[in-house]
Amino acid sequence: MAKRKEENFSPPKNAKRPRQEELEDFDKDGDEDECTASFTNGTSTLTAAEVGIIESIRLKNFMCHSMLGPFKFGSNVNFVVGNNGSGKSAVLTALIVGLGGRAVATNRGSSLKGFVKDGQKSADISITLRNRGDDAFKANVYGNSIIVQQHISMDGSRSYKLKSETGAVVSTRKEELIAILDHFNIQVDNPVSVLTQEMSKQFLQSKNEGDKYKFFMKATQLEQMKEDYSYIMETKERTKEQINQGEERLTELKRQCLEKEERFQSIAGLSTMKATLENLKHEMAWAVVNEIEKQLNAIRDNIKIGEDRAARLDRKMEEQQVRLSEAEQKYKDIQDKLEKISEETNARAPECMALKADAVAKKRDYNEAEVLYNRSLNEYKALKKDDEQLCKRIEELKKSTDQSLEPERLERQKKISWLKERVKALQNQENSLNQEIEQFQQAIEKDREEHGKIKREELDLKHTLSYNQRQLKELKDSKTDRLKRFGPNVPALLEAIDDAYRQGRFTYKPVGPLGACIHLRDPELALAIESCLKGLLQAYCCHNHADERVLQALMKKFYLPGTSRPQIIVSEFRNEIYDVRHRAAYHPEFPTVLTALEIDNAVVANSLIDMRGIETVLLIKNNSVARAVMQSQKPPKNCREAFTADGDQVFPGRYYSSEYTRPKFLSRDVDSEISDLEHEVENKMAQILNLQQHLSALEKDIKRNEELLKRCQLHYKELKMKIRKNISEIRELENIEEHQSVDIATLEDEAQENKSKMKMVEKHMEQQKENMERLRSLKIEAENKYDAIKLKINQLSELADPLKDELNLADSEVDNQKRGKRHYEEKQKEHLDTLNKKKRELDMKEKELEEKMSQARQICPERIEVEKSASTLDKEINRLRQQIQAEHASHGDREEIMRQYQEARETYLDLDNKVRTLKKFIKLLGEIMTHRFKTYQQFRRCLTLRCKLYFDNLLSQRAYCGKMNFDHKNETLSISDMVNRRIAMDLILKMADSQRFRQFILLTPQSMSSLPSSKLIRILRMSDPERGQTTLPFRPVTQEEEDDQS
């Protein structure tokens, strides 16, 4: 950076030394830079310029000001000072626009309509230019002043009025204004003449050295010279193109000249040409015959090849019919098996339920019989033990003779009787408790069966809920991207297909998924069409197998191994949809799948016709109507199946219900589908919650019953223990030796009664055992029957699943074979049509040959060998005829032919001379432009040195230093100096003092109170506008007034 040299600085005369605070203000102020306008009258050396000086300016409704001016400017230095918003920028902008500048040059807007004050319809600018002295512009017309008035409308248009000193309108044309500005050398678009605030910031503050270089080029008009050089070089290239065109024209003129010369020289050979013409006619007659014979041979060969191909097509048709019959028979066999299994399963279902109920009843009966048998067995064992004890007691009594213990015996008998009563009561409680235990066991078993049933229902509902939730997520995703309906990976796959197609990896871009390429005419048929097309909605179409392999490779990136991928259909792409009118189904009330769809892409329509035969499938909304149309009467012609609005499939002899309740891919009302699905999900969740609550209640019941069962079983064990304890106590009392006499007869009676009971119990037990065995056999038989039929039903179900898959495969095979048959039928029909056309063409050609041979014999009776073609001979004949006609037309007028030949030759030579002259001019222009470019470089170097010299001179006069570097190769300009705003102002004033013939207008927010007092300096202070004020008056301010105010 350059440093300021204080010891060498000397202020100008009559100038006050600026205070340090003012210098700091100049350095720190960056809110609004000064704007400068410099206007010159050319090369005049007068102390005050006489032409081109802006004397005054007046604005109305311009920018944000209702009225500004008139402002009167001095002839040398003018300062327009004022606070921000006072109108300085408006004055500078009006000077640029008023003198014809564009709106963008002001850096205040891109259109003139932006300069009209808000709420006003137009704006006006009036500028007065000085026009005195010898260099005045049309002094006798305009006088000493030229008034430039401009009117700007709201639509951005503007109009000019150029008035004389007296106010008379001289012109309204912009060309006149341009002439005045050129005469006064006023350049409003040159930043050296008019430097706006934005341009000054861009030049002074920009760190881009390229922008500074562009500023230099524009200010010195080197940029215009460079553009002129480019324009001349473009003109040179266009001239070269004209030379090339002239050379092409020379070739044509030379050919014409040679033709004229040939005509001139061919008069003598007229008779020779006639003889040659006759020979050519003879050759022409037999050449036509030769060509027709060749055509006939080619047609015969084509017919033979066509007949061979027709035979091959017949054989393929027969083979295809055999394959179709086999496929249909296979489909029918599988369908019969499946229907038989279904009928057998449905027939066995009631029997299975009845056997299950019978097995449960038999098991319950057996359990009850077993309980009764066990009770009898226990009773028998107790009686047998009592009998043994009684017999033992009788024997003891018989042996005993001691009768002294009678009271004690009575007391024991009394206690025994009490204990027996207690045992009887406990046994009654045992029987009641045993019944309760059985009831609890039955209740627990029943609850567990119901628990298992509800658990299975809960699992089914959870599977359905999971499927619905996945479908709901896919529907919500499809709201933002409809393609996600066909799979979450589809958008990414389609993007990969687009990239591969742009890279040229596909012959034709694959089409798919097919469901995204079709639209429904009737939304109510969405489920029916989905049930018909199934997986084809997610399929893609490829033109050939090479495209298929590329698509398969792309799919591997988006579909994991083991997961299902979309189907790929390989079929040659056509631009037209198949004509299926002769094989399509028709019904006056119901559409086919083909007519129910809007398909813009012919490839999609043809693929669906080939793969599914959609032209033969009817769509009937009502189920009963569909049955009536397809089964109660003869189906419509060419119709092999129909689908209902519920998705059910109807054949002439069978009916299949749909597994789905709503469409997944083709529904238009996605919001309604989402709402319905959300409602269904809520219902499923509510059902699951109810089932879970029911399960919880059942589990609680089972747990409670199990606890009660445990209590009963515990109580039962306690009763058993009490009964055994009492019986044991009875037996102990009965076994005590009694010393008193005992009534043996009573004991013997009791023993006899006990034996009778034993016999009855044993007999009853035998009956119960026989009954239990009988019930056991019945239970086992019922369980075996139930297990057998259940196993049979499971086996039938297992058989049905693979048969369903085989049926689908067989159905697809039948469709494929039918498509193959239709394909060969169409090819056969097309081929036979072509073959018959060839035969008709052969007959016509044979007749034509006979006619041509007859004509040829009339022209030349003997056949001659001809090597040339008829077209070549025809051209030669026409050329000879034209020559002969020309010779006949000009025969005897050699001067006319000579004149035409001379004119053609002169035209050729004249154009050749012009082309040579242009070539010399181009060569000379290249040398001149090379010299001019060197001169341009030298001039640019001189301007660069001059600019550096002025820069160094101005800084050295003020004892400052700086540096200015030009790089013309890289088009950069770097400037480094330490000159602040105050120093720059001194330099400007010094420069203005040395160039009094120039006018300087500077706009700044500074007060300029430190400027020296001079008649050449005029300071125009602009006051802040008051509310409602329309005019801002100002007057010149002297240095003394400025000092008094400060």
- Give the orientation angle of helix 490-502 with respect to helix 545-558, to 10 degrees: 140
- Higher per-residue confidence, 918 vs 125: 125
Residue 457 predicted with pLDDT over 70: yes
- Of the chain, the percentage scoring pLDDT greater than 70 comes to 83
pLDDT at 43 (0 to 100):
39
CA distance 262 to 165: 77
pLDDT at 485 (0 to 100):
75
pLDDT at 982 (0 to 100):
62
Q: What are phi and psi of 999, to 5 degrees?
A: -110, 135
Q: How confident is the model at residue 539 (pLDDT cuts 50, 70, 90)?
A: very high
Residue 1011 predicted with pLDDT over 80: no
pLDDT at 397 (0 to 100):
67
Range 665-692 burial, b when 16+ CB lie within 10 A, else e: bbbeeeeebbebbeebbeebeeebeebe
Distances (CA, A) of 847 to 682, 840, 965: 84, 11, 95
Cβ neighbour number for residue 375 with a 10 Å cutoff: 16
Distances (CA, A) of 911 to 235, 248, 254: 21, 11, 11
Q: What are phi and psi of 345, to 5 degrees?
A: -65, -45
pLDDT at 10 (0 to 100):
34
State the chain's mean pLDDT as an integer.
78
Q: How confident is the model at residue 1033 (pLDDT cuts 50, 70, 90)?
A: very low
Q: Contact, 71 vs 77, CB < 8 A?
A: no
pLDDT at 18 (0 to 100):
37
pLDDT at 480 (0 to 100):
60
- Higher per-residue confidence, 524 vs 735: 524
Q: Contact, 727 vs 420, CB < 8 A?
A: no
CA distance 901 to 471: 90
Average the pLDDT over 524-552 and give the result.
Answer: 89
At 572-614, the pLDDT tens digits run: 888 888 888 888 998 888 999 999 998 888 999 999 998 888 9
Q: How confident is the model at residue 202 (pLDDT cuts 50, 70, 90)?
A: low
Average the pLDDT over 194-221 and give the result.
Answer: 72
Q: How confident is the model at residue 28 (pLDDT cuts 50, 70, 90)?
A: very low
Distances (CA, A) of 161 to 39, 101, 143, 167: 22, 15, 16, 10
Range 129-160 burial, b when 16+ CB lie within 10 A, else e: bbbbeebbbbeeebbebbbbbbebeeeeebeb
At 75-119, the pLDDT tens digits run: 777 878 887 777 778 888 888 888 887 777 677 777 888 888 888
CA distance 782 to 787: 9
Average the pLDDT over 671-690 and give the result.
Answer: 79
Residue 264 predicted with pLDDT over 70: no
At 131-159, the pLDDT tens digits run: 988 888 988 889 989 999 999 888 888 88
pLDDT at 151 (0 to 100):
92
Q: How confident is the model at residue 978 (pLDDT cuts 50, 70, 90)?
A: very low
Average the pLDDT over 45-59 and give the result.
Answer: 74
Nearest to 359 by CA among 770, 789, 702: 789
- Token pair, residue 660, equals 């789905």
Residue with tokens 């036509």, as numbered in its chain: 288
pTM of the model: 0.34
At 858-875, the pLDDT tens digits run: 887 777 777 777 778 788
Give me the torsion for CA of 407, 409, 411, 415, rounded to 10°: 180
- Token pair, residue 763, equals 């007999």
At 401-444, the pLDDT tens digits run: 445 456 666 777 788 888 888 888 888 888 888 888 888 888 88
Average the pLDDT over 720-729 and give the result.
Answer: 83
Q: Contact, 835 vs 303, CB < 8 A?
A: yes
- Higher per-residue confidence, 452 vs 990: 452
